[in-house]
Structure 1
Amino acid sequence: MTSTITEKPKRLLSLDVFRGATIAMMILVNDPGDWGHIYAPLEHSKWNGCTPTDLVFPFFLFMVGVSVIYAMESKKSTVSHSKLILKALRRTVILLLIPWVTQLIFHPDGGLAHLRLPGVLPRIALVYFISTVLYLKTSQKTRDWIFAGALIGYFIIMTCIPVPGVGYANLEPETNMGAWIDRLVFSPDHLWRESHTWDPEGLLGTIPAVATALFGIRVGSWLKRKDRDDQVKTNWMFAYGVIAVVAGLFWDLFFPINKALWTSSFVLYTGGLATIGLALSYWLIDIQGYKRFTYPFVVFGVNAITAYVLSGFIPHYMGMIKIGGHSIYQTFFAPYFSPVNASLVSAIFTVLILWIVMWGFYLKKIFIKI
């Protein structure tokens, strides 16, 4: 892991803002004061369906795709592809190791025998690497075919191929094809701690997750075009996003929108919403020049992975602080608010603490690149 003291020029401000808002939301929903009292929009869907919280992860992977374009377009024709792929591989390995080492620190009793191998950062790592290779080695037309093939192929695998030991294809948590593959490859001891029979970031779901990043690459390529003016780009992004949302809702009728399975309908629906959101940000910030409100989000956006990693450490150690024998939550929030509001205010407080830390990084011009 290295750090630099200067930003690369010509960053897309709207992308940093959109990414920063996504990271802030991710921290908010991951760190409530009380997991037993959470407002419904700040919880994941029980299974099928999509809440605002379910949009956070696909939005981030979408922006991974957009970022690949802005990071590599100028290098694609001037730097050895092997060198770029090796650099991407190094980043991938680091992203894989971070959550595994973190688990060993926070859960030393479980050791390697119960280390969860899938997860959010491992999925980001695999999607980043695969999408980088596809960007470097394929044309946009080929990537469009891969995108369509991934969504249709995943649909066929999940709904048509019988699951060994079950006898029929299904979309239930513990008996779908993805869950079977995860138990086969990782074993139950290395899956999600809440279940050990399936994992919401499972291996098979990486296929449609890569499609989410390819969605972002397609939008990023459109944003980088020099033969279209900004207004035309924005109009097409809105249109593209609306079409994808409608297509996702239609596919939902027979392949339900589901984050845990990362269904093909989920890819289209969330990718469409992400495109609309980025188009709105691009229009407001980069075209219309409304930049006063951007600063708080940019602080998170330029150090997104660092903020996410620290969101696993800082709340953990904050929870260990005792004031008169009580936690920060029990001392400052629970006595003064209703249970759900106390939980929400505590989560906002955590976001603020992390923002202050990242603000320090920003002021020092420390931008950590993995």
Structure 2
Amino acid sequence: MSSRLLSLDVFRGLTVALMILVNNPGDWGHMYWPLEHATWHGCTPTDLVFPFFLFIVGVSISFSLGNVPGQSSTHGEAVRKILLRGLKLFALGLFLNLFPRFDFSTVRVMGVLQRIACVYVVCSLIFLKMNPRQQVWILLLILVSYFLLLTKIPVPGAGAGNLEPESNLAAWFDRLVLGEAHLWKAVRGVWDPEGVLSTIPAIGNGLSGMLAGYALRRRGNAAKRTVRLAGVGVGLVALGWLWSFWFPLNKSLWTSSYVCFTSGLAMLLLALLYWLIDVRGYRRWARPFEAFGVNAITVFFLSGLVPRILNLFKIGDMGVQTWLFKNGIAPAFTDPYLASLAGALICVGIWWVALAWMYR
């Protein structure tokens, strides 16, 4: 088995392209529902993007560190590199939150890149120190413990089992640890969708990806590997759906049912891409996504930074990006939802051109 899967690069590229699409609508007030997050409980296609990426992080760990656990002499160097990379990712996320005001008194501490950093570091260390069977037990422990925490531990003033936005245990814990001034600004500092406590179950998506990577790295028939991976995926989707009757699917809380459901769907998609691209050799259609896949962190960071820079410059009372949409794209459409989608697609296209040039 090669140390690199083209299907994994394509999966990562698809995920990053969708991430750019949903994060850059022409008009936030006019978005088709699949491109919006669920209001609270529930799961839209957009709610699959982040857990898919964390799953991919786990698969990548399995391939990049696959030979290290058997070489104890290299563990120290591997741990140093893991911690350094995690620190860099966290710092990039913090920089995005600080830019352009750099007000440390109100900076949001957590975020997407910060969660990726935490999941990457924890999963990598688990991979180095534990075998796959032990990793399964850690995954089960995380999912069951988080379920019990959020449903059985009473929150001051709200009681136990409260899963509402402002009064659940994760929100209370984030306010306690980080302080309201350092939470997600869109909800006035009462909770954070990438908070501290909800990062713990997110590790489960990374662990699921590591186990999927282990399954794909095993010797044997490719068809059996694919079927085995797809079978586990179906089982996880079913488990997540059934569990959601007691512990609803919820991205902001990152519920255990959500971990199972999204990890199962990620396994199914990876199995399909692996079979089509790495086994059957149908690769030409996937080339546009390779550029996104091999530059994932770079494009995510820049796609967050560039709009912030553009909107520092004003044309009238509008930032440059908003002005370009209002005056260059929106007038070409009678449907504001279609115009908003067109703006997002153009944004994806611009990044693809830049990445294709870098990738060639």
Q: Normalised by the size of structure 1, how large is the TM-score?
A: 0.92
Q: Deviations over 1:75-94 (max 9, x none)?
A: 33235212111111101111
Return the structure number with greater relative CO, CA threshold 8 A, min gap 6.
1
Q: CA deviation at 1:322?
A: 7.1
Per the alignment, residue 255 of structure 2 pairs with 263
| 2:326 aligned with 1:357 | no
Q: Aligned letter for 2:168?
A: N
Which of 171, 183, 201 is the equivalent residue of 1:179?
171
SS for the counterpart of 1:298 is helix
**Root-mean-square deviation (Å):** 1.6
Which residue of the partner structure matches residue 182 of structure 2? 190
Question: Cα distance 1:234–1:107, how it changes in 2: closer, same or farther (>3 A)?
Answer: same
Structure 2 unpaired stretches of 5+ = none
CA contact under 8 A between 1:64 and 1:128: conserved in structure 2?
A: yes
2:26 counterpart SS class: coil
TM-score, with length taken from structure 2: 0.94
Q: Paired residue for 2:85?
A: 91
Question: Equivalent residues in 2 for 1:1-370 (5 A)?
Answer: 10-78=3-71, 80-108=74-102, 111-195=103-187, 196-226=189-219, 228-319=220-311, 327-337=323-333, 338-363=335-360
Cα drift, residue 155 of structure 1: 0.3
Over 4 Å off, 4+ runs: 318-326
Worse overlay, 158-167 or 128-137: 158-167
Amino acid at match of 1:330: K
Between 79-88 and 204-213, the greater mean CA deviation after superposition: 79-88
Shift of 1:333: 1.1
Aligned equivalent of 1:366 = none
3-state SS, counterpart of residue 48 of structure 1 = coil
Deviations 1:222-242 (A, max 9, x none): 00001x210000111111111
C-alpha offsets along residues 27-65 of structure 1, whole Å, 9 cap, x if unaligned? 000000110000000000000110000000000000000
**Contact 1:234 1:279 (8 Å CA) reproduced:** yes
> How far off is 1:103 after superposition?
2.7
Q: Tell whether the 8 Å contact from 1:116 to 1:191 is kept in structure 2 after alignment.
A: yes
Answer yes or no: is the 8 Å Cα contact 2:239–2:261 preserved in 1: yes
Structure 1: tracts of 5 or more residues without a match: 1-8, 364-370
Deviation at 1:323, TM superposition (A): 7.7
Paired AA for residue 32 in structure 1 = P
Following the alignment from structure 2 to structure 1, what is the Cα–Cα distance between the partners of residues 112 and 38?
17
Q: CA, structure 1 residues 345+318, in 2 after alignment: closer, same or farther (shift >3 Å)?
A: farther
Residue by residue over 1:228-265, the C-alpha shift from the partner in whole angstroms, topping out at 9 and shown as x without a partner, is 21000011111111111011100011100101101010
- Alpha-carbon distance between aligned partners in 1 of 2:248 and 2:314, rounded to the nearest angstrom: 45
CA 331–321 in structure 1, closer or farther in 2 if over 3 Å, else same: farther
